[in-house]
Structure 1
Amino acid sequence: MGMEMGLWRADGDQLTRITPTAIGLEAQLESYIESDPTMLGETLLIIGRQVPTAHGGFIDLLAVDETAAVHVIELKRDRTPRDVTAQTLDYGSWVATLGRAEITKIFANYRPGIALEEAFNEQFGGTLPDEVNTAQVFTIVAASVDAATERIVRFLNEDFGVPINVVFFRHFHDNGASYLARTWLVEHEVQPAISAATSRKSKSREPWNGQDWYVSFGDSPEGRQWADGMKYGFVSAGGEKWFSRTLKNLTPGARVFTCIPKNGYVGVGTVLGEAKRFDETTVLYDGTETALTALPLVGAYRHEGDQDDDLAEWAVPVQWTHAVPREQGFWKPGMFANQNTATKLRSQFTIDQVSEAFGLDE
């Protein structure tokens, strides 16, 4: 049986039913949702409107959620309910083939002049995940659907776990005021989206250029100091194996983008040697190979029990191309940050922003 939505005005003990009208509603809904996608029950970032597909169709609205799953939003309009259901799934099959680069391009066409990473940070208050569009969610927007469409959507959603749903909007007028009411065909929860095939994962994340690494430099008043790393040319980490293990992935010739957590990027340079225990590391200072422990360091680099390599401080010598004091650290919303000490830097947005700020392109 088709879904029905009712609205009554209560005047004392009297109830007066307000009759819905569909006049102009579906033509306006696309703009309503674009301006406030929370109408659909969760925070979304619209990334495209009337997006052309490779097969000649146009997707009404595309959006991403805070996990970077892509939402395909289709309005019923004058199509038959069965047609719009099939069309939504067809569009979804195309969207599932898109990699991060294609998603970024769609957004650039939709909102020129702002990077997807910036818009994502503004909407969700976090960094765009490394992997984008590893999953898809399908939403059909309608004033009503027939019983057959209900059966199809419920069958896909409830029996096969396909995240497809129908959201109903009805338009009510009463005493000069207008109201929109919303309900869902299937009880609405923020569901896990359909994961893309494992073989697509490399497309969903930005490619690594084989050279650039993100390095987190844990500057603290009681411990290591960026002033030392900047002056003498090194990055370091330690105290536990978890902190030092990724530092050992850095190899001579790699380029490191060094960031002080919650502060910003402070240096870009080239790795000169492999990771060693701090008390065994030498750096090139004033043209001379010098042991770090022989230098007048400001920070402290000893840890309790650091006779054990897993607990010791480890360091990597770096020749800085550009480095700035902690107080001049550069940060822009949407840039990459990570809890690992060293990890491959895939974020071209971050590379571009830091390179421009530090004048590396010149």
Structure 2
Amino acid sequence: MPIELGVWKINGALERVPFSSMESEQKLEEAITKDIGIIDSSLLLIGRQVMTAFGKIIDVLAINSEGNLTIIELKRNKTPREVVAQTLDYASWVLTLTYDDVVRIFNEKNPGLTFEEVFTEKYEVNLPERLNESHNLIIVAAELDNATERIINYLNGYGVPLNVVFFRYLKAGDNEYLVRSWLLDPNQVEAQSSKANTSKTGKQPWNGRDYYVSLGDGEFRSWEDCRKYGFISAGQGRWYSNTLSQLSPGSRVFACIPKTGYVGVGIVQETVVPIKDFTVLIEGEQVSLLEADLEVSMDIDIDDPDLCEYIVRVEWQKTVSKAQAYWEKGMFANQNSACKLRNQFTLERLAKFFEVDE
């Protein structure tokens, strides 16, 4: 079951802020399409109200940087089991979409825009040669019955990438808020699907936990500062910093200095924040990282959300100096600041070198 959330007002008398119903599910759909990042910041909206070949309508269709599609379906007035069946039916149609089909749907839903240009602008990489090698299914609901939850868990056990996101609505004064929770850990859903689809996609399965982090050591940041104060970072452009949003508390990261080698393994403690919002403990007090004794100044463009450095807090399990960096021919390296680490050869070597479980 999802974790039950509660919100309290603590200035003045302690008072619980009650959740309530939104005026309409259309308002929630509009919020999702206005900023699909409230579900997943790594998604790009293709369109809403997408007509299938058999006359049914998908509420929201999106794509990620790897070219894989995501179906997002609102429960509306349907029963939970009804919406699960309907979402699976939509998936059977999405499975048939070709590269040209995806481009056509985007262009139809976004007049005046070109899919290739929008994709490249968001991800700062060219479109993959192949699209829709796999897809994800997300149901947006206020609640589920026990039987439906069992069905979803069963399907996930067989690699069907189906998850449920719960949005709770609350209003305090003139302000409105959405609170999000997931039925299942999205990383674990993806890991299960990755294992099931390995033969189809040709990619090695992802274990749902491990990430590669490319850490440039030099003008803008220092590996020794990262070791000392417990963080990883990226900046000087959204292309570099955006991928850090993939990292969530509990993720395991292997830090690699480009053209040098792997220097550390640690567990993510917090999600990414701009550098001016990141604090560290010094002599018993929490102070801004910018006030710490850093080997490399990191106060460049701190008020520019596109160019500033972004930070992820990490509890290091084991680190080595840059001079002791570990590298073997054939190990995984990537230009992204963060990406899923699937390469089994690399994972085996790193587990042995850093003395952590594979």
Question: Normalised by the size of structure 1, how large is the TM-score?
Answer: 0.51
Which amino acid in the other structure matches residue 110 of structure 1? K
Residues 175 and 115 from structure 1, CA distance in 2 versus in 1: closer, same or farther, beyond 3 angstroms? closer
Deviations 1:121-161 (A, max 9, x none): 1111111100000111000011222222222112222x222
Deviations 1:329-358 (A, max 9, x none): xxxxxxxxxxxxxxxxxxxxxxxxxxxxxx
Residues 148 and 71 from structure 1, CA distance in 2 versus in 1: closer, same or farther, beyond 3 angstroms? same
In structure 1, C-alpha distance between the alignment counterparts of 2:111 and 2:199, rounded to whole Å: 31
1:125 matched to which residue of 2?
Answer: 124
1:143 matched to which residue of 2?
Answer: 142
1:172 to 170, 173, 179: 170
Residues 3 and 148 from structure 1, CA distance in 2 versus in 1: closer, same or farther, beyond 3 angstroms? farther
Which amino acid in the other structure matches residue 40 of structure 1? I
Kept after mapping to 1: 8 A contact 2:8/2:16: yes
Question: Which 10-residue stretch deviates more, 169-178 or 133-142?
Answer: 169-178
In structure 1, C-alpha distance between the alignment counterparts of 2:199 and 2:48, rounded to whole Å: 28
Deviations 1:41-86 (A, max 9, x none): 3321111211111111000010000100000010011111111111
| Displacement of 1:197 | 10
Deviations 1:9-62 (A, max 9, x none): 2235x4311111113242211111111111113321111211111111000010
- Partner of 1:11, secondary structure, is coil
2:44 matched to which residue of 1?
Answer: 45
| Displacement of 1:196 | 7.2
Residues 86 and 3 from structure 1, CA distance in 2 versus in 1: closer, same or farther, beyond 3 angstroms? farther
In structure 1, C-alpha distance between the alignment counterparts of 2:159 and 2:201, rounded to whole Å: 20
1:111 matched to which residue of 2?
Answer: 110
Structure 1 vs Structure 2: percent identity of aligned residues? 42
1:5 matched to which residue of 2?
Answer: 5
1:20 matched to which residue of 2?
Answer: 19
- Partner of 2:10, secondary structure, is strand
| Displacement of 1:2 | 7.5
Kept after mapping to 2: 8 A contact 1:20/1:172: yes
In structure 2, C-alpha distance between the alignment counterparts of 1:36 and 1:156, rounded to whole Å: 29
- Partner of 2:187, secondary structure, is coil
1:185 to 183, 186, 189: 183
2:59 matched to which residue of 1?
Answer: 60
In structure 2, C-alpha distance between the alignment counterparts of 1:117 and 1:197, rounded to whole Å: 27
| Displacement of 1:170 | 0.8
1:78 matched to which residue of 2?
Answer: 77
1:94 matched to which residue of 2?
Answer: 93
Which amino acid in the other structure matches residue 109 of structure 1? E
In structure 1, C-alpha distance between the alignment counterparts of 2:158 and 2:197, rounded to whole Å: 15
In structure 2, C-alpha distance between the alignment counterparts of 1:3 and 1:27, rounded to whole Å: 25
Residues 6 and 200 from structure 1, CA distance in 2 versus in 1: closer, same or farther, beyond 3 angstroms? closer
Kept after mapping to 1: 8 A contact 2:59/2:73: yes
| Displacement of 1:3 | 6.2
In structure 2, C-alpha distance between the alignment counterparts of 1:200 and 1:5, rounded to whole Å: 38
Deviations 1:250-286 (A, max 9, x none): xxxxxxxxxxxxxxxxxxxxxxxxxxxxxxxxxxxxx
Which amino acid in the other structure matches residue 129 of structure 1? P
| Displacement of 1:198 | 7.6
Residues 90 and 3 from structure 1, CA distance in 2 versus in 1: closer, same or farther, beyond 3 angstroms? farther
1:36 matched to which residue of 2?
Answer: 35
Which amino acid in the other structure matches residue 189 of structure 1? N
CA RMSD of aligned residues (A): 2.5
Residues 88 and 146 from structure 1, CA distance in 2 versus in 1: closer, same or farther, beyond 3 angstroms? same
- Partner of 1:189, secondary structure, is helix
In structure 1, C-alpha distance between the alignment counterparts of 2:66 and 2:2, rounded to whole Å: 33
Deviations 1:182-205 (A, max 9, x none): 00001232825568798899xxxx
In structure 1, C-alpha distance between the alignment counterparts of 2:5 and 2:76, rounded to whole Å: 18
Residues 76 and 94 from structure 1, CA distance in 2 versus in 1: closer, same or farther, beyond 3 angstroms? same
Kept after mapping to 2: 8 A contact 1:134/1:196: no
Kept after mapping to 2: 8 A contact 1:3/1:145: no
Residues 10 and 188 from structure 1, CA distance in 2 versus in 1: closer, same or farther, beyond 3 angstroms? farther
In structure 2, C-alpha distance between the alignment counterparts of 1:108 and 1:17, rounded to whole Å: 46
Which amino acid in the other structure matches residue 8 of structure 2? W
Larger Rg: 1
Kept after mapping to 2: 8 A contact 1:50/1:59: yes
> 5+ unaligned residues in a row in structure 2: which ranges?
203-358
Residues 8 and 200 from structure 1, CA distance in 2 versus in 1: closer, same or farther, beyond 3 angstroms? closer
- Partner of 2:14, secondary structure, is strand
